[in-house]
């Protein structure tokens, strides 16, 4: 079994490992993806996105109940998600109903797959793949 030292050479035969292929994805796209996943790394925001994906449209009160959080706390999460274009809302009188905004997320993933040259639009993880497919 070979082991790599701090210089990147293989301890067994002294030859360097093959270089990694370039990603082909600009740093700006990587930054946008990192920000997207960081937003979803918070369990409350992820629950909001999952609930909206499942139910389509929800009032802030329903989200408070679902998350077991106060209205100001849920509103803070909604503001972050709305600011970055992941959700949108409709007003009905004095009430706001939140829904997913698919266009910014769709555009980001289309941009990523286009720039990476990945025509299959999927990420392979050993024994499974995550695929991106438009309706």
| Residue 19 covered by a domain | no
Work out the number of other CB atoms within 10 angstroms of the CB of residue 41.
9
Determine the length of the chain.
135
**pLDDT score of 78 more than 60:** yes
Show Cβ contacts of residue 43 under 8 Å, excluding neighbours closer than 6 positions: none
Split into its structural domains, the chain has a count of 1
Show Cβ contacts of residue 36 under 8 Å, excluding neighbours closer than 6 positions: 84, 86, 105, 108
Please name the residue ranges forming H helices in 71-134. Answer: 71-83, 102-116
Region at 19 (left for phi over 0; alpha for psi -120 to 50; beta for the rest)? beta
**Domain range for 101:** 42-114
| Residue 11 covered by a domain | no
Confidence of residue 36 (pLDDT cuts 50, 70, 90): very high
Q: Please state, in angstroms and rounded to a whole number, the distance separating the CA atoms of residues 77 and 70.
A: 11
| Residue 130 covered by a domain | no
Token pair for residue 74?
């849920």
| Residue 18 covered by a domain | no
| Residue 3 covered by a domain | no
| Residue 21 covered by a domain | no
Total-model pTM: 0.75
Instruction: Among 7-11, 63-67, 104-108, name the most confident range.
Output: 63-67
Residue matched to tokens 């997320």: 105
Q: What is the CATH number of the domain that holds 46?
A: 1.10.10.10
Nearest alpha carbon to residue 82 among 100, 64, 65: 100
**pLDDT score of 85 more than 80:** yes
Mean pLDDT of 42-51: 95
| Residue 74 covered by a domain | yes
Mean pLDDT of 79-94: 93
| Residue 98 covered by a domain | yes
């Amino acid at each position: 079994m070979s082991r790599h030292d701090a210089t990147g050479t293989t301890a067994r035969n002294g030859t360097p490992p093959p270089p990694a292929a370039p990603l082909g994805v600009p740093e700006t796209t990587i930054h946008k993806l990192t920000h997207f996943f960081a937003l979803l790394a918070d369990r409350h925001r992820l629950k909001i996105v999952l609930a909206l994906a499942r139910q389509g449209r929800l009032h802030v009160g329903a989200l408070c109940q679902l998350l077991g959080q106060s209205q100001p706390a849920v509103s803070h999460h909604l503001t972050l998600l709305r600011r970055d274009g992941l959700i949108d809302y409709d007003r009905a009188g004095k009430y706001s109903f939140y829904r997913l905004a698919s266009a910014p997320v769709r555009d980001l993933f289309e941009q990523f797959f286009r720039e990476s040259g990945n025509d299959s639009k999927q990420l392979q993880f050993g024994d499974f793949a995550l695929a991106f497919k438009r309706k």
